[in-house]
Structure 1
Amino acid sequence: MRPHTSTASAEPGAFRHSFLGTFRFSRRAIDLVWSTSRPLTFGLALLTLIAGVLPAVIAFVGAQIVDAVVAAAALAREGSRVEIGNVFRWVILEAALVVAMAAAQRGISFCQSLLRAQLGQRVNEMILDKALTLELAQFEDSEFYDKLTRARREASSRPLSLVTRTFGLVQNLIALASFGVLLVGFSPWAMLVLLLAGLPSFIAETRFSGEAFTLFRWRSPDTRMQLYLETVIAREDHAKEVKLFGLGPLLLARYRAIFHKLYAADRALTLRRDLWGLGLGVIGTLALYGAYAWIAWTTVFGRITLGQMTMYLMLFRQGQAAVSAMLSAIGGMYEDNLYLSTLYEYLETPVRVGGGAAVQGPDSRDGIRFEAVSFTYPGADAPTLHDINLHIRPGESLALVGQNGSGKTTLIKLLTRLYAPDQGRILLDGLDLAQWNENALRQRIGVIFQDFARYQMLVGENVGAGDVTRFEDRERWREASDKGMASAFIDSLPQGFETQLGKWFKDGRELSGGQWQKIALARAFMREQADILVLDEPTAAMDAQAEATIFEHFSAMSSQRIVILISHRFSTVRMAEQIVVIQDGRIIEHGNHAQLLAQAGHYAHLFALQAKGYL
């Protein structure tokens, strides 16, 4: 359980794009937000425009208030009649503008909040939709899981963040343009000072955004290991062994060690980022107060009025904030684009184009044929299956015998098109599986793997999972459970088929291993059209007599079906019409029980060893 080392950490510069190049996802993010909710996106854009214009207008009105007050005070000192109504009109106008500004900001927050919820769901659905198109081999690839972890951790919030920053950039651009119109009246150089004052903090922000992203990619395997350790420590299906073997402190220590490793990298980055930000921020502050001194000196010598001085000071203060916000938005957009690359890297994972379109073969009496089939798992050094040749006709039963890891389950994965052979071909009804429509093919097969799923759902839904088209069909639940010999214990449950299974949810009931296997058997019978039944160690949690009873029951109902059984119990295996012994991915013996005993080979040896246990 050592933390996995990804190739991402070995190539920290592999995803450092040019600054402008990282903005290639901006348009896609905007399109994504727009398609999520057009009314909310339009409202956000309109409110952003209003919020961009209002600050300059408020500053202008504020200057008019000050000048009106100064003029009224001068008239009062001279003993002239004072018209105070002009001052009040400007005050009322500013109050209305401030209320409008507050309303626009609240509206922006409202739109962002609703968009965040909708967009988070939309992106998560995109991630899960993509997962449904991927092949089993990709789910068994550690680097793929790193990619998936990165996409799920950050990408769901980044599209809205990118659009929000884009609108914020537009808002501040509008505000800065309106400030510029007023500042030109003071000095054309004022805008240049304003822009240069915000550059230092921008440089610091963008410099460390790239480093943070590189760290994010590098740490994905360690993050996955932490999540796995959380699962082992806190899940009920691991709790027994964790407690019995005293694994808790060991696993928790590894969990802490990964945190300290990641925290050390975070702390170093944060320290550098803040120190640079502080140093460069001081430069911007000095520029701001230099502008203050310039405006004050100009006012003292009577070149601008007191109201204009107030306005220009406000414009400089708000202008610098706008410049900082703009540059920060650009830096944030740069960072969001980096993180969005993880989402689209995942979404653009190539998938195999679906196989053929056939829904039936030319010869329904031919059954299943394996012709010189070989297969090697991706990344494996040696083949798992070598030159497999088999023929199983309708109405026949086949038992696969061999040690764990000999290739028995792999052969079933090839039959169900979870993998494709590297060499040779597999035919059903005289037609290569590559030419079959995958949905039509899988409707023909009822399969129970040794590690079948135990869904934290209702009993009936656990059975119904065998045929998604009849998932909530209560009559089919009953029929399938009768065939799977599960009805007796289901009827004894408090709410029968409506009983919640598992301990994750309220009033959930846990079943014994044998009861779960009967549920899985019933699930295999949900598909009425399935004429191929595959049982991969389906009764490992049952005693030998129960397994024999179930297999006899299976055989009696499967006269026109192909039954493939993987089992280590020879009391059951001997009932099959064909028995295939697999060792190291090769078929070493093939025949019925009597023939294989007569050969006195590997099968006979294993049968004799097991028989001794009953003497």
Structure 2
Amino acid sequence: MFRYSHRALHLVWSTSPLLTVVLAVLTLTAGILPAAIAWVGQLIVDGVVAAMAAEQADTTYVLRLLGAEALLVIGVAASQRGISASQSLLRALLGQRVNVMILEKALTLQLAHFEDSEFYDKLTQARREASSRPLSLVNRTFGLVQNAITLSSYAALLYSFSPWAVVILIGAGLPSFFAEAKFSGDAFRLFRWRSPETRMQMYLETVIAREDGVKEVKLFQLGPRLLQRYRDIFNKLFVEDRKLTLRRDGWGFVLGLLSTAAFYGAYVWIVIATISREITLGAMTMYLMLFRQGQSAVSASLTAISGMYEDNLYLSNLYEYLAQEVPNRDGEADRGPEPARGIEFRHVSFAYPGAAEKALDDINLQIRPGQSLALVGENGSGKTTLIKLLTRLYEPTAGEIYLDGLALSDWSVEALRRRVGVIFQDFGRYQFSVGENIGAGDVRYIDDEARWATAAQTGMAAPFIEDMPEGYHTQLGRWFKGGRELSGGQWQKIALSRAFMRSEADILVLDEPTAAMDAASEAAVFDHFRQSSRDKMTILISHRFSTVRAADQIIVMQHGRIVERGDHNELLAMGGQYAHLFELQAKGYQ
């Protein structure tokens, strides 16, 4: 039950030691004062009875007791307010802390983790509940301590009446506790079981309500269908929720009757004892209050324990996610022994996790400094996968990749990626300023406006950026006030400029970089690109043969294998796949 309690307590303590101490002290105070109030209440009643029986009533003693009780009540109210304020502040700090922990872990994970549906379930579960559960667990722990102190003081006072009263007080709440613990476990198992459906609901919300999906939703009239699917998922989940709620509350009511019966049984017992003059009227008042409030404290304690069990179950999601093993793939080298060798793929093969077929099969190629390579092939032939291996987003399942005569596994990932400027076909369109969108290409200089301008000139984005009202400080996208949306071709020029932010990069990779550009812009971009990368290793992926024909080496890929290689004229002379595709495309322009 308490597997993660100590970790949650440590997490809260490390978030704010001062607030944790304040919360603990106030909790102890709030636990002691109720018993003191009950004891003073007995003295007040007995004092009133004694004053009424006296020939000359002295009210001073009773009034002093009333003043003491008022101060104790004020102390309880102040403690409760302080506890509430401390919890609110800790909740904000802890929510931020846990979310940062989740995001920091995400930065260490490999691309394969994010392409795994089971991992996404873990991430969703951790983010949905874990930011609030640590503080909930700590609050319940402190509440349990508070109620334990209160119950101990109540039990000490009740024991003077009868030890059996203490047994009845505690035992009456046990059935409700065991039922609540069982249903908490059921609720958790239900939560974990339906994570995929919950993620689908979140995805449908995104598709229906975000600007990057709303165009097709409206155009293809998908809205009613997607909304109905959203409703169907909810209805499916609600059936399980309803069953659990009815069972939980039904058993809670039935078992709660036992507590009520125990209280009124004790009530009868105490009243009869008072009538028989075994205890005073003040003692009767105190015992009844102790029993009533004690029963509430027992119920609260048992609920806290049940809640702690539930919190531990949910926290398991967070700590399972944080414990996700990430192999250390980082080498130490920042240079290789033979720079003239460039990039070499030696018998490289790769299969995606869970895939039956290889995405790449026995790939051998070399690109030397100053050379250009073009990759041609059908969609799914493995072109982008090859780039993911080069940038170490994935590791080969067989073979080895070398850079400057040194295996990539021996390179520092940070040093390797500083040498690579890449634009993928699904490049990021950040809802930031123009300058930040370009500067993201090299985070070391993300705020360097001079480098923004230089990269934008190289990437052919400078002309339309300079026409914007706020230039490089113009907000892009429609998510934030004053944002401006770009055309597809303009976004590609921004992404191309981002790749050129890495002025130290000697490996440039362009994956379908001009798919959204018109023919004139495409020709200008590639002419400019060739002039700007004469001394670099360049890899170009494109379906347009007009852009690849100038490459020093062209590789044709099919089903993850290299089927042809050579320059443009050599491949045409072979009369193979490249020549066939080139002729098909050429006919489209005739």
Q: TM-score, normalised by structure 2?
A: 0.99
Find the aligned partners of 2:500 and 2:59 in 1 and give their Cα distance: 90
Partner of 2:258: 283
Q: Secondary structure at the match of 2:325?
A: coil
Find the aligned partners of 1:423 and 1:196 in 2 and give their Cα distance: 65
Q: Do structure 1's residue 292 and structure 2's residue 232 form an aligned pair?
A: no
1:322-365 CA-partner distances (Å, limit 9, x unpaired): 11111111100000000000000100011021321000000111
Partner of 1:10: none
Partner of 2:282: 307
Q: 1:564-575, aligned counterparts within 5 Å?
A: 564-575=539-550
Task: Give the drift of 1:480.
Answer: 0.5
Q: Which of 45, 52, 71 is the equivalent residue of 2:31?
A: 52
Q: Which of 62, 84, 94 is the equivalent residue of 1:87?
A: 62
1:485-530 CA-partner distances (Å, limit 9, x unpaired): 1000001111110100000000100000000000000000111110
Matching residue's letter, 2:63: F
Task: Give the drift of 1:188.
Answer: 1.3
Q: 1:165-564, aligned counterparts within 5 Å?
A: 165-564=140-539
Q: Do structure 1's residue 64 and structure 2's residue 43 form an aligned pair?
A: yes
Q: Do structure 1's residue 35 and structure 2's residue 10 form an aligned pair?
A: no
Does the CA-based 8 Å contact 1:374-1:383 persist in structure 2?
Answer: yes
Partner of 2:99: 124
Find the aligned partners of 2:456 and 2:478 in 1 and give their Cα distance: 22
Find the aligned partners of 1:537 and 1:221 in 2 and give their Cα distance: 33
Task: Give the drift of 1:557.
Answer: 1.1
Matching residue's letter, 2:50: A
Does the CA-based 8 Å contact 1:359-1:441 persist in structure 2?
Answer: yes
1:187-236 CA-partner distances (Å, limit 9, x unpaired): 11111010011112212211100000000001100000000000000010
Find the aligned partners of 1:340 and 1:557 in 2 and give their Cα distance: 53
Q: Secondary structure at the match of 1:395?
A: coil
Find the aligned partners of 1:156 and 1:390 in 2 and give their Cα distance: 48
Does the CA-based 8 Å contact 2:177-2:303 persist in structure 1?
Answer: yes
Does the CA-based 8 Å contact 1:116-1:160 persist in structure 2?
Answer: yes
Partner of 2:71: 96
1:251-291 CA-partner distances (Å, limit 9, x unpaired): 00000000000011000000000000000000111001101
Task: Give the drift of 1:544.
Answer: 2.8
Query: Which segments of 5 or more consecutive residues in structure 2 lack a partner in the other structure?
Result: none
Task: Give the drift of 1:614.
Answer: 1.1
Does the CA-based 8 Å contact 1:537-1:566 persist in structure 2?
Answer: yes
Matching residue's letter, 1:364: P
**Identical amino acids, percent of aligned pairs:** 67
Q: Secondary structure at the match of 1:24?
A: coil
Matching residue's letter, 1:33: V
Does the CA-based 8 Å contact 1:54-1:101 persist in structure 2?
Answer: yes
Q: Do structure 1's residue 24 and structure 2's residue 3 form an aligned pair?
A: yes
Does the CA-based 8 Å contact 1:544-1:571 persist in structure 2?
Answer: no
Find the aligned partners of 2:177 and 2:155 in 1 and give their Cα distance: 20
Partner of 1:111: 86
Task: Give the drift of 1:128.
Answer: 0.3
Task: Give the drift of 1:608.
Answer: 0.6
Find the aligned partners of 1:435 and 1:58 in 2 and give their Cα distance: 71
Find the aligned partners of 1:446 and 1:497 in 2 and give their Cα distance: 21
Matching residue's letter, 1:59: A
Find the aligned partners of 1:455 and 1:559 in 2 and give their Cα distance: 30
1:66-88 CA-partner distances (Å, limit 9, x unpaired): 0000001111xxxx221110110
Matching residue's letter, 1:66: V
Partner of 1:5: none
Matching residue's letter, 1:606: L
Task: Give the drift of 1:564.
Answer: 0.3
Q: Do structure 1's residue 154 and structure 2's residue 133 form an aligned pair?
A: no
Does the CA-based 8 Å contact 2:343-2:366 persist in structure 1?
Answer: yes
Partner of 1:19: none
Q: 1:586-601, aligned counterparts within 5 Å?
A: 586-601=561-576
Matching residue's letter, 2:437: N
Find the aligned partners of 1:547 and 1:357 in 2 and give their Cα distance: 39
Find the aligned partners of 1:172 and 1:189 in 2 and give their Cα distance: 20
Matching residue's letter, 1:356: G
Task: Give the drift of 1:548.
Answer: 2.3
Q: Secondary structure at the match of 1:23?
A: coil
Partner of 1:73: 52
Find the aligned partners of 1:333 and 1:504 in 2 and give their Cα distance: 40
Q: Secondary structure at the match of 1:401?
A: strand
CA RMSD of aligned residues (A): 0.6
Find the aligned partners of 2:264 and 2:181 in 1 and give their Cα distance: 25
Partner of 1:585: 560
Q: Secondary structure at the match of 1:170?
A: helix
1:531-576 CA-partner distances (Å, limit 9, x unpaired): 0000000010012332222111111111110010000110111011
Find the aligned partners of 2:298 and 2:234 in 1 and give their Cα distance: 37
Matching residue's letter, 2:295: Q
Q: Which contiguous aligned blocks of 4+ residues in structure 1 show a shift greater than 6 angstroms?
A: none
Task: Give the drift of 1:180.
Answer: 1.2
Does the CA-based 8 Å contact 1:455-1:502 persist in structure 2?
Answer: yes
What is the aligned length?
Answer: 590
